[in-house]
Amino acid sequence: MTAKTPWVRERVRNAARFTLLCSVFGVSLLTASTGLRRLHARPLPFEVRLKIDDFARQGPVYNTLFFGSSRIYRHVIPAVFDQEVQKQAQGMMANSYNFAFDGMRPPESFYYARKILAQSPPLKWVFIELCPFHTPLNEQNAQGERTVGWHDLSNTMLIIRQLLSEKSREGKISTINFHLQSLLIRSVNLSGGVDLLRRLQGIESGTLRIPAEWRGHRGYAVNKSAPIEGAKLSKFEAALDRTKTPAFSPRPLPPLMREPLISLINEVRSRGATPIFVVPPTIYPAENLASLRAQGMDAEMISLSDPVRFPELYVATERADYDHLIGDGPRVFTLALAREFAARFHPAKPAPDSASEK
């Protein structure tokens, strides 16, 4: 056997040294992150904590919470909702707070709903926007505090299974990689040390004074966008026409959503509250979901996704885009939701007939 030349031996030693150093670094990083998690559990994202701080100041007075994306965040006005519920159903009191955020769809919304409910006082009703899993992710958002927060192993595997089940999605592999990147960042608790130092230094002691567009409105934020126009308006009108065809008929939940949804329903009920799922006035067939009870699930659902019943929610002049209402749209949305809720949970007593009178 030929003896190794000195330069070969040197390369082998360097490779071994590099492997050893990488192993030591990896073990050290995992050990440090594990210790940091025990010392300081991963906090909720800063924007979520801001609302929790605001909510906590008067938390015991609230008995109703709303969770979801901008289609709840910028559509549900708590003061209007509470007033209309009381008007429609005498003696039925709702004191609500809007805990929705821009872009927060399942499974992210389900994850943060659980976290916030764990810190909430006793509630009566919990409204949660219902729409299919939101799977897109890019490199920038993959490193965001809110995205990293919900990417535990269970949710990451769930979203990857959903991606793999979708027949046509460009860039599927890169999207999966971004979800795995979020999982990795969460697993090694990157930024956890920075957050701990900030708290030890009292940097967050003034969070209640930080401006936020929802302050003074119980979590609701106004959408100040201009009305939809041009090519987007034409596409919206064409999509609106398609909602009148059989292709827009209500459809069942995606199969992978059933188990997480049932788990969330049970979680809300375990806290003594009633879960109510809300389908916004959408133009997308995939989001026009059928009644949960019709699918064998024991939970109420209010769907506003019906241009025939709710034409006022599909007025183009009060749409900023395909998803969002502006102008008087959010107030109209809130009134419609409050009326449906009051009719469902506090139905008017039927007038007694002559037989019962006797």
Label residues 169-190 b or e (16+ Cβ within 10 Å = b): eeeeeebbebbebbbebbbbbe
Closest-CA residue to 203 (of 49, 56, 51)? 49
Provide the percentage of residues in the chain whose pLDDT is more than 70. Answer: 78
pLDDT at 12: 61
∠ Cα 308 312 314 (to 5°) = 75
Q: What is the rounded CA–CA span in Å between residue 358 and residue 290?
A: 42
Q: What is the rounded CA–CA span in Å between residue 165 and residue 150?
A: 21
* Residue 346 three-state SS: coil
Name the residue with higher pLDDT: 230 or 348: 230
Mean pLDDT for the chain overall: 85
pLDDT at 345: 87
Q: What is the rounded CA–CA span in Å between residue 129 and residue 69?
A: 7
pLDDT at 304: 97
Mean pLDDT of 328-351: 86
Q: Give residue-wise pLDDT tens across range 103-157.
A: 999 999 999 999 999 989 999 999 999 999 999 999 889 988 999 999 999 999 9
pLDDT at 354: 34
Provide the percentage of residues in the chain whose pLDDT is more than 90. Answer: 64
Asked if residue 144 belongs to a domain, the reply is no
Asked if residue 179 belongs to a domain, the reply is no
Mean pLDDT of 329-357: 75
**What are the CB-based long-range contacts (under 8 Å, 24+) for 257-261?**
257/106, 257/132, 257/133, 258/297, 260/106, 260/107, 260/110, 260/158, 261/110, 261/130, 261/292, 261/297, 261/299
List all residues 6 or more positions away from 36 whose beta carbon is below 8 Å from its beta carbon: 189, 192, 193, 196
Q: Give residue-wise pLDDT tens across range 28-67.
A: 545 554 554 554 466 788 889 999 988 988 767 899 999 9
Q: What's the pTM value of the predicted model, to 2 decimals?
A: 0.83
Q: What is the rounded CA–CA span in Å between residue 303 and residue 341?
A: 11
Region of 215 please: left (phi>0), alpha (psi -120 to 50) or beta.
beta
Other C-beta atoms closer than 10 Å to the C-beta of 118 total 9
∠ Cα 321 215 133 (to 5°) = 45
Confidence band for 350, pLDDT divided at 50, 70 and 90: very low
Asked if residue 159 belongs to a domain, the reply is no
Which range of residues forms the domain containing residue 276? 28-135+210-345
Distance of alpha carbon 323 from the chain centroid: 15
Name the residue with higher pLDDT: 170 or 308: 308
Residue 316 has pLDDT above 90, yes or no: yes
Residue 303: exposed, middle, or buried by beta-carbon count in 10 A (0-12, 13-18, 19+)? buried
Asked if residue 217 belongs to a domain, the reply is yes
Mean pLDDT of 238-244: 95
Asked if residue 171 belongs to a domain, the reply is no
pLDDT at 348: 61
pLDDT at 276: 97
Residue 13 has pLDDT above 70, yes or no: no
* Residue 349 three-state SS: coil
Q: What is the rounded CA–CA span in Å between residue 322 and residue 240?
A: 10
Q: Give residue-wise pLDDT tens across range 192-216.
A: 554 544 454 454 545 555 567 898 8
- Structural domains counted in the chain: 1
List all residues 6 or more positions away from 22 whose beta carbon is below 8 Å from its beta carbon: none
Asked if residue 338 belongs to a domain, the reply is yes
Residue 231 has pLDDT above 60, yes or no: yes
Name the residue with higher pLDDT: 43 or 2: 43
pLDDT at 272: 94
Residue 166 has pLDDT above 50, yes or no: yes
β-pairing verdict for 274-279 and 64-67:
unpaired
**What are the CB-based long-range contacts (under 8 Å, 24+) for 113-116?**
113/67, 113/264, 114/264, 114/267, 115/44, 115/48, 116/48, 116/52, 116/65, 116/67
Q: Give residue-wise pLDDT tens across range 86-107.
A: 999 888 899 999 999 999 999 9
Report the CATH number at residue 232: 3.40.50.1110
Name the residue with higher pLDDT: 344 or 16: 344
Which position has the token pair 């729409």? 131
pLDDT at 351: 38
Asked if residue 67 belongs to a domain, the reply is yes
Asked if residue 149 belongs to a domain, the reply is no
Q: Which helix (H) or strand (E) holds 64?
A: strand 64-67
